[in-house]
Amino acid sequence: MNLNDYFDPIEIRNTQKSYINSNVQLLSAISVHTEKNPIENIEDYDLVFIGLPYCKNDEFVDDFSEIRNELYSLTANKKIKFFDLGNLKCGQTKNDLIIGLRDVIIELISKNIIPIILGSSEDIIYSQYLALKQIGKKINLVSVDSKISALTNKETGNKTTLWKILVEESEALFSFTNIGYQTYFVNPKTLQFLTENYHLAYRTGFVRSNIKEVEPIFRDAKIIGINISAIRQSDAPAQINASPNGFYGEEICQISRYAGISNNISVFGVYDYAPDLDFNNQTSRMISQMIWYFIDGYYQRINENPMDKTGSYKKFLVNLNSFEYELIFYKSEKTDRWWMEIPNLKSENKNNLIISCTLEDYQKAGNGEVPDRWIKTFQKINSN
């Protein structure tokens, strides 16, 4: 695949800042697809940036220039291998955009490159899902969103992205998790559907009070998408359905860093940015800092797996009264991160599943209670 056929070149302007020397800015450490610099040797890079133009008055418009300017004006980790591919060419229809992005993602993943995708629609996640489905990946999908879009629109008959993923094409999906929903925006039947299908959803208030509890979810995720609506309006005003409640800027940046340090992530996306509403470029700055934290997390990641005999892990066994299974936990002596082992009764080779967890999960087991994370995963892998 020649990626130059899929992307329009861009031009970066206005990255000069009085408080940062240009030679330590991100722009000095990356490659950008411009008229004079085509996409070449893409396999030499770890991360790429993709812009998805949005439709305005029946024309596709690139309004990501301010985000790029803000991002590339920030300080750089000099070992970064990052290529801004430019903006994906739109095609004639919305479906052309979805399929084009799917094909690009497949190409990048085949070269062990993680795309960072910015657009104005949650169709970003659908393209990501189709890509991983086509290459045979079992998918853990995490959506950071204040709303969990209705599974179907009864008035129009339109099927939402979640309907397509959770119902129509669910054979590739292992788990879906929503992070940061606000109860008054979500139909109770949607939450009931998620529960019945062993998926998870965490309210904004819970995450804000227990942000470390969701780190294992990001650690196991293949696809992570952040909707700007998850952020409070005062911190990110450029959103169509803004809410005064949501994550603070510091919290969404911590979440973005969790996404970056995941050893399993294949694609990261930020969507539903409405540039026309970006007062004083505040949301551009917010998104640029989210991406910066993702990049920083990526270059701080430590590859760990308790089943890897080369690592150093402690194993803990917990037996509970009146519970037939022994709970098995692992702790990394290097990072203090935790995992737990889930019995896979359907596995012919008796290969149990290892999932990420927290110290609190182990402490809960020590107090005689089976962690919710264990129960949900056990039900999912052993259900009919």
Q: What is the pLDDT of residues 134-154, one digit of tens each?
A: 998 889 999 999 998 766 655
Q: Report yes or no: 342 and 378 within 8 Å, Cβ to Cβ.
A: yes
Closest CA to 129 of 139, 120, 121, 119: 139
Strand partners for 142: 177, 224
pLDDT value of position 61: 58
283 Cβ partners below 8 Å, 6+ apart? 228, 236, 237, 238, 239, 273, 277
pLDDT given at position 130: 93
* Segments of the chain assigned to CATH 3.40.800.10: 3-298
- The span from the CA of 296 to the CA of 188, in Å, is 37
What is the rounded distance in angstroms from the CA atom of residue 184 to the CA atom of residue 147?
9
Largest CA distance in the chain: 69
Q: What CATH topology corresponds to 3-298?
A: Arginase; Chain A (3.40.800)
pTM over 0.95: no
User: Distance (Å, rounded) from C-alpha 203 to C-alpha 144?
Assistant: 10
Instruction: From residue 306, give the alpha-carbon distance in Å to each of 262, 299, 364.
Output: 15, 21, 21
| Cα(285)–Cα(366) distance, integer angstroms | 44
Contacts of 37 (CB under 8 A, 6+ apart): 9, 31
Tokens describing residue 56: 């305005």
Nearest to 74 by CA among 290, 300, 261, 346: 290
Low-confidence residues of the chain: pLDDT under 70: 14, 18, 54-62, 150-157, 348-350, 384
Q: Which two tokens stand for residue 300?
A: 């701080």
Amino acid at 130: L
Neighbours of 364 (CB within 10 A): 19
Cα dihedral sign for 367, 373, 378, 384? positive
Query: Looking at residue 321, what DSSP letter applies?
Result: T
Task: Give the model's pLDDT for residue 279.
Answer: 86
For residue 65, what pLDDT is reported? 87
Quote the pLDDT of residue 55: 56
